[in-house]
Amino acid sequence: MKIKILIPIYNDWQSVFKLINEINDLSISPEFQVSIIIVNDASNHDRPEDKKKLDNIYSIKILNMKKNQGHARCIATGLKYIYEKEDFDYVIPMDGDGEDRPEEIKEFLNQIKNSNNKPLVGERIKRSENLLFKICYQLHKLLTLTFAGKSIKFGNYTCLPKITIEKMINEKATWNSFSGALIKVENNFISIPSIRGNRYFGPSKMSFYNLIKHSLSIISVFRKTFLIRSALFIILYILFIKSNASVITAVPLIFLLIAVYSISNLALRENMEEFQNSLENINNVDELK
């Protein structure tokens, strides 16, 4: 069975090569042929040479992008490349910095046998960030459920069969939000417990700003539901505060209107024409193995 591990990367070469070495050291059953495809998002740091012998990885390719396009679009481009150019059965998208723990790949592969072609997702049961960030992350999940009607407990770290990849590359939301698009095209998942690991090098890139953008991007996939629920919330809230209206009580409405504006702008990222032409942004493909 052919497994493609898809890793988007921007400058963090030290981390991605450490990740590759750890994947190589996993005791993966020989029934799985594991290959790695790295999407280099127009890094401006030179890639170091890594000469370690990687006997347990079948092939390693680096797709070098002409211009920087962001994490979600790198994954989308990688999915399209794999679907059109590679022979595969499953794709495992994962971060290249250690926060998606490589040892959990084995659990994905163990579950494939009984998955009946359903997507496998890594459901976060433990995170490595500080308490304030964890609280904000829980708030993000609550807001997504409240305003989009979707409970999303996973990120990019998944294991997707070919039939799901086909759906993803034909869904314009994939160009905007990976997890939002996945839950839009699939209704039935198999979850495995996943612990958020620590970055190999440097601080986490998931800042509060990126978390807010990530949350709003997911909600933008379900913007019709969001707009309907937002309108209902505004009506009910105005009725609730009409006798106590003030600048303070208006704060939730202001935040909601800002969210409506932001989500409307993020929804414009769903450009199917750009997605269909995304492989044109590949400058060249380096085959490391």
> What's the rounded Cα separation, in Å, for the pair 198 and 107?
19
Place of tokens 């009506």: 235
> What's the rounded Cα separation, in Å, for the pair 272 and 73?
12
* Tokens describing residue 101: 């723990």
pLDDT of residue 128: 56
Place of tokens 């504006």: 261
pLDDT of residue 145: 81
Closest CA relative to residue 172, chosen from 272, 239, 84, 29: 272
User: Which residues, at least 6 apart from 238, have a Cβ–Cβ distance to it below 8 Å?
Assistant: 253
* Tokens describing residue 86: 């590679």
Task: Tell me the β-bridge partners of 59.
Answer: 35
What would the DSSP string read from start to end of 64-110? EESS---HHHHHHHHHHHHHHH---SEEEE--SSSSB-GGGHHHHHH
pLDDT of residue 206: 61
Q: Model pTM?
A: 0.88
Q: In 3-state terms, what secondary structure has residue 264?
A: helix
Q: Is the CB of residue 146 less than 8 Å from the CB of residue 220?
A: no
Task: Tell me the β-bridge partners of 190.
Answer: 120
CATH architecture observed for domain 2-278 = Alpha-Beta Complex (3.90)
Mean pLDDT per segment of 10 residues, for the chain of length 289 residues?
Answer: 96 93 91 96 83 87 95 96 97 94 94 91 72 71 78 87 97 94 92 88 69 81 88 88 80 87 87 95 92
